[in-house]
């Protein structure tokens, strides 16, 4: 098989891999980018973007219902067709990556649709999806792996082989089921639950953990459960599903003998890293977990030619992390200066209504780390009062009393993901509590609740 020599091979083009390939090609490197599905990865086609469009639509319906208390009655008949149309035409171009491929090719990169696998040191073999013969590349500078994840299929009797939805089918739905069981109450389950429920789908969340969004503060989980209940969503926690049956719909049997039935089942029970079909064994690495250093270089690989970014790097599964790690790796590959990767201030926002946003450590994680923890909380104050319906929520700050800095914070409420900006800055830059308390907070904003939460620390 002929071997082509290039500077950089990117295997898997999630958001970080795509941008790394684009910028490296722009910097004059000879780049090959390989994706077995769509260039850009899960986020633009099946995840962040389409789900946020679904939630925007669902929030519009909720706001219309709130209008009666604020401005006068609004009559709206929920219809999924405009949502499905927006997802297809505006978000995903009919689930086509033509524009993304052209962008890369215009920058000078070679793009392959195919499975990329390592084939020994610095070598990657592509098996094209169009059935043409395999091509092998040798990367002079680096190989970057950005293969992302796929939905986990819990080992429940009867589940495999049934036509259940994952996030991919959910965002491609053109018609809604009458009822839906959502297996999993993490960010994917919570966001899709609310989107569908607000369009009239009867939703039951079956969550194995003892609460929704278990990686967030318990107060956030409790509030979201309250909001879901108010909106007619049934939430079953500590649930163990022992059997799934599919005929005209789905019937789930739980360990306590309860049976749940719905027209459709959405499995949102976590993700599996796509590390198992990458040829990692050909360079002596295990295919279940990769460890990386603070420049995104894979541990245990001589010569520092292998970089790993995105969800599989193990520091959180967010597009902003994929992009952040992409920039760290790009600088290392191009020999540019810049800070190493640091993870003390990773932010996230789950786009339910109320939004659930957080940065750094939760109170429990800070205690587990042995810190001298102080916490302060506040509701949304005057802004929440004027906002009225829909202003459920709070700000909670977690301080390390020994160092006098915030190590974590959460905001739950309207625009909480925007309030998170100043909390992320505080945790990232390790601003002192004195500095934060000496700041002037505009009145009556949502972010002014941060000042009240800081005062509550004392
Ligand atoms: C429903 C949902 C909603 C989400 N919402 C948000 C959000 O609002 N905000 C946020 O920050 N994050 C969100 N996420 C997470 C976000 O989608 C991911 O963190 C993001 O896509 C980054 O992933 P990644 O870079 O690791 O790769 P991915 O986006 O998973 O892309 C990996 C790519 O690699 C390709 N690939 C895999 N193996 C190979 C191989 N051997 N050869 C060739 N190609 C290969 C795949 O086809 C894919 O295109 C959401 C996730 C889901 C599921
Ligand atoms: N807005 C955002 O930033 C956003 C939105 C969606 C997803 N994401 C990212 O995508 C990743 C994946 O999200 P996710 O929600 O799929 O995964 P997750 O691992 O965060 O949550 C999955 C949930 O499913 C539950 N579960 C697991 N097995 C189960 C079973 N057999 N029965 C019932 N419940 C079960 C778990 O208790 C868990 O809470 C997240 O880590 C997050 O970083 C981010």
Separation of alpha carbons 453 and 251, rounded Å:
45
The bound ligand whose nearest atom lies closest to the alpha carbon of 319 is: 1
Ligand 2 atom nearest the C-alpha of 52 is 1
Atom of ligand 1 nearest to the CA of 278: 41
Calculate how far, in angstroms, residue 115's C-alpha sits from the geometric centre of ligand 1: 16
DSSP string spanning 265-333? EEE-S-EEETTTTS-GGGGT--SS---B-TTSBBTT-TTS-EEE-SGGGSS---HHHHHHHHHHHHHHH
The predicted pLDDT at position 412 comes to 98
CA-to-CA dists, residue 354 to 41, 71, 225, angstroms: 27, 21, 11
Nearest CA residue ID for atom 5, ligand 1 = 48
pLDDT band at residue 2 under the 50/70/90 scheme = confident
Contact residues of ligand 2, CB 6 A cut-off = 154, 183-189, 191, 206-209, 214, 239, 241, 268-271, 316-318, 348-351
CATH 3.50.50.60 fits 3-40+97-149+272-334, yes or no: yes
Residue 387 CA, ligand 1 centroid: distance in Å = 35
Give the distance (Å) from ligand 2 centre to CA of residue 130: 33
Cα 226 to middle of ligand 2, angstroms: 19
Note the ligand closest to the C-alpha atom of 271.
2
Query: What's the CATH superfamily of 167-270?
Result: FAD/NAD(P)-binding domain (3.50.50.60)
Residue boundaries of the structural domains of the chain = 3-40+97-149+272-334, 167-270, 347-457
439: left (phi over 0), alpha (psi -120 to 50) or beta: beta
Same fold, 3-40+97-149+272-334 and 347-457: no
**Candidates 111, 319, 356: which one to mutate for ligand 1, based on the most atoms within 8 Å of Cβ?**
319
Q: How far is the centre of ligand 2, averaged over its atoms, from the C-alpha of 64 (Å)?
A: 30
208 C-alpha vs ligand 2 centroid, how far in Å? 11
Kindly report, residue by residue over 161-194, the tens digit of the pLDDT: 999 999 999 999 999 999 999 999 999 999 999 9
pLDDT over 70 for what percent of the chain? 100
Tens-digit pLDDT profile for residues 373-396? 999 999 999 999 999 999 999 999
36-68 pLDDT per residue, tens: 999 999 999 999 999 999 999 999 999 999 999
Q: What is the reported pLDDT for 1?
A: 66
Tell me which CATH code domain 347-457 carries: 3.30.390.30
């Amino acid at each position: 098989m002929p071997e082509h020599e290039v500077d950089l091979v990117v295997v898997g083009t999630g958001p970080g891999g795509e941008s790394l390939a684009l910028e490296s090609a722009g910097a004059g490197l000879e780049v090959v980018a390989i994706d077995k599905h769509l260039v850009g990865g899960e986020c633009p086609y099946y995840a962040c973007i389409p789900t946020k469009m679904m939630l925007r639509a669902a929030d519009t319906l909720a706001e219309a219902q709130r209008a009666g208390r604020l401005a006068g009655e609004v009559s709206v008949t929920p219809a999924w067709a405009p949502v499905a149309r927006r997802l297809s035409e505006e978000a995903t171009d009919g689930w086509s990556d033509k524009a993304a491929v052209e962008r890369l090719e215009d920058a000078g990169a070679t793009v392959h649709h195919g499975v990329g696998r390592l084939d020994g040191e610095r070598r990657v073999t592509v098996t094209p999806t169009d059935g043409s013969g395999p091509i092998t590349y040798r990367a002079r500078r680096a190989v970057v792996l950005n293969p992302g994840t796929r939905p986990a299929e819990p080992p429940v009797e009867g589940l495999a082989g049934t036509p259940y939805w994952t996030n991919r089918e959910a965002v491609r739905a053109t018609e809604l089921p009458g009822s839906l069981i959502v297996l999993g109450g993490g960010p994917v389950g919570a966001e899709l639950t609310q989107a569908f429920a607000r369009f009239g789908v009867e939703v039951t969340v079956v969550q194995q953990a003892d609460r929704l969004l278990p990686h967030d503060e318990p107060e956030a989980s409790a509030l979201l459960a309250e909001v879901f209940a108010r909106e007619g969503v049934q939430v079953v926690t500590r649930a163990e599903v022992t059997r799934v049956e599919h005929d005209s719909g789905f019937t789930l049997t739980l360990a306590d003998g309860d049976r749940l039935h719905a027209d459709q089942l959405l499995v949102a029970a976590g993700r599996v890293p796509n590390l198992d079909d990458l040829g990692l064994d050909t360079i002596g690495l295990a295919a279940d977990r990769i460890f990386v250093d603070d420049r995104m270089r894979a541990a245990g690989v001589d010569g520092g030619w292998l970089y790993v970014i995105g969800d599989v790097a193990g520091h959180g599964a967010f597009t902003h992390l994929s992009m952040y790690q992409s920039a760290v790796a790009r600088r290392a590959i191009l020999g540019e200066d810049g800070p190493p990767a640091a993870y003390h201030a990773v932010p996230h926002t789950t786009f339910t209504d109320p939004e659930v946003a957080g940065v750094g450590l939760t109170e429990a994680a800070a205690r587990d780390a042995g810190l001298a923890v102080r916490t302060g909380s506040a509701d949304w104050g005057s802004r929440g009062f004027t906002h009225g319906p829909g202003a459920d929520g709070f700000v909670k700050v977690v301080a390390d009393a020994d160092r006098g800095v915030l190590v974590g914070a959460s905001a739950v409420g309207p625009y909480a993901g925007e309030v998170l900006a100043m909390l992320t800055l505080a945790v990232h830059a390790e601003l002192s509590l004195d500095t934060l308390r000496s700041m002037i907070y505009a009145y009556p904003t949502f972010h002014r609740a941060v000042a009240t939460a800081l005062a509550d620390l004392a």
